[in-house]
Homo-oligomer: A and B are copies of this chain.
Amino acid sequence: MKITIAQLNPTIGDLSRNAQEILRVAKQAGEAGADLLLTPELSLCGYSPRDLLLDSSFIETIAQTLDQLAADLPPALAVLVGTVAQNERSAQAGEKPLFNSTALLSQGKVQQVFHKRLLPTYDVFDEDRYFEPGEEANTFTLQGVRIGVTICEDLWNDEEFWGKRSYGVNPIADLAAQGVNLVINLSASPYTVGKQRVREAMLQHSARRYDRPMIYANQVGGNDDLIFDGSSFAVNRQGEVVCRAKAFEADGVTIEFDTVAQDLRPGSIAAAVESADAEIWAALVLGVRDYARKCGFTQVVLGLSGGIDSALVAAIGAAALGAKNVLGVLMPSPYSSDHSITDALELAKNLGINTQTLPIAEVMQSYDRTLNDLFTGTTSGIAEENIQSRIRGNLLMAIANKFGHLLLSTGNKSEMAVGYCTLYGDMNGGLATIADVPKTRVYSLCHWLNNHAQLAFGKPLSEPSTEMIPKNILTKAPSAELKPGQVDQDSLPDYDILDEILERLIQRHESPAQIIQAGHGAEVVNRVTKLVTRAEFKRRQAPPGLKITDRAFGTGWRMPIAKRW
């Protein structure tokens, strides 16, 4: 039996186009002799539609689109399509109105509907907000093979693997008890650094534990802050990876289930991504490309300061949309160093992106004069520094508005954490490209990029030995250049120390006391903790930031602002 994984990149809510895409790959798969086609979780509406699920017309249109798709598909091909289903018992039983479901389509009809049983409600996930958990183990039989259907989180509760339970039931155990021959999983599992290794280890464990082969079909593509990495794969009964689709791009792979051996045969295995830097690079490029495309932008603009953050974002933008579709704007002030200009121009030349230079001294002076009477007798400080940053933010937005470009903001996670950024200034943008990338990782990504420029840009470069990120950008001391001689470390601890404290605080949920016990100085830990708390009001107003870690500031970070803790 031939099973094809359609690793699709749906657009949220674009039901007709998503259905057309399923139809297109189904026809291809049917012609290639496939018996079963797998599509990701909620493949018809894209994951996650979030509050679109509260609109009844959205739910009705999904149902209509599903029926039409069933009628249009090749009748002999069985297709699993991710969809939502009404919970008819909702009002009577006091249950949620919907299920997160997968429909089995064949012979022109919806044959069966399977409901997701484990509903993630943590981090960026809000499934309890919309869905009732399914109560039954989901199976169907195709050509005599009993197939167990699970949806994403349904696989993530193996208490042996995790050392604890996160839900009361384990759907795989139920399916094994029912004697299925094969377990498939339809996912929309967002990327975080190193997650694919965890997924494969987890399925390898479960396959061996239950002596069942498993196929994992994941969504790919960027949807707002979430980047889905694809990397669909399959493991045989021995827990060996027998098939893997590409990471970070749409793909289709076919696997054979041997009905005699009751196991999957070896298939094509795409190479795993070689390093964390390579993964993150690919994720961010996909995130920018899809956010732009799905919002209708073809060109991006960003401020080029001559610093490393904007250098990385410019490179990501060039890889995502093509260098000619990137405009870097240099906005020197009287406090800008000469190298801020020369470095930015060299970077732009290396990347092949367009530039504009707009000095801001005159606008600064006009603000100074406007505020002169009111500010008489005060000391120049944060207010004045922020004005500079906001002038730049305004100029960038003016360009974005005038030419229909998407403004990419360039702040990194370390800055966003401690508030070393200006609200309505350098935080401006439609997408915060590297808002989940700590400063130390920004450096390592830039070094990686210089060593893998050809891989990073997906095509032979005319001069592959070029340093994409100029050496001076990599070696000079980071500075906001908002006053003479300023460097980041006037205000912040060294970035390697800061980033470790931040990781403990944010990702590992450690308390200041625990971090101090781990060897960090009490003064610096308490100062950083206070900065993180105080910057909450800025983060609340930040653009969506591409998520690459287990805990990003964004939809999965829900912190009160007016608080004392």
Contacts and interface: CB of A to CB of B under 8 A. Distances in A.
Interface stretch (A135-143, A245-253, A302-310, A385-393): A385-393
A563 B470 CA distance: 37
A565 B394 contact: no
A366 interface: yes
Interface in A366-400: 366-367, 369-371, 374-375, 378, 382-384, 386-387, 390-391, 393-395, 397-399
A167 B360 CA distance: 59
Interface stretch (A29-37, A91-99, A196-204): A91-99
Given A51-B559, A295-B561, A559-B50, A374 B356 contact: yes
A560 B129 contact: no
A55 interface: yes
Contacts of A563: 11-14, 46, 49, 52, 294
A129 B159 CA distance: 20
Given A383-B402, A397-B386, A565-B52, A555 B555 contact: no
B537 A430 contact: yes
A459 interface: no
A349 interface: no
Given A291-B562, A378-B402, A55 B166 contact: no
A144 B366 CA distance: 76
B371 A57 contact: no
Nearest to A402: B383
A96 B164 CA distance: 12
A224 interface: yes
B393 A387 contact: no
Contact of A165 (B92, B423, B511): B92
Contacts of A13: 560, 563-565
A371 B331 CA distance: 11
B94 A511 contact: no
Contacts of A223: 560, 562
A187 to B, nearest CB: 18
Interface stretch (A67-75, A101-109, A120-128, A176-184): A120-128
A365 interface: yes
A164 B362 contact: no
A49 B290 CA distance: 34
Given A17-B564, A52-B565, A561-B544, A360 B356 contact: no
Contacts of A402: 374-375, 378, 383
* Number of chain A interface residues as a range: 35 or more
A94 B165 contact: yes
Nearest to A360: B370
A373 to B, nearest CB: 9
A363 to B, nearest CB: 4
Contacts of A46: 563
A543 interface: yes
A557 interface: yes
A424 interface: yes
A469 B295 CA distance: 42
A558 interface: yes
A60 to B, nearest CB: 9
A206 interface: no
Interface string A422-459: 01100010100000000000000000000000000000
Q: What are the 9 closest A-B residue pairs judged by CB atoms, nearest first?
A: A13-B565, A94-B165, A57-B511, A294-B562, A91-B164, A383-B401, A366-B366, A12-B563, A128-B128
Given A15-B565, A57-B514, A358-B370, 5 more contacts: A12-B565, A51-B558, A51-B559, A121-B121, A360-B370
15 contacts: A12-B562, A13-B563, A14-B563, A46-B563, A49-B560, A57-B511, A121-B128, A122-B129, A224-B562, A359-B370, A384-B398, A387-B398, A394-B394, A424-B424, A541-B542
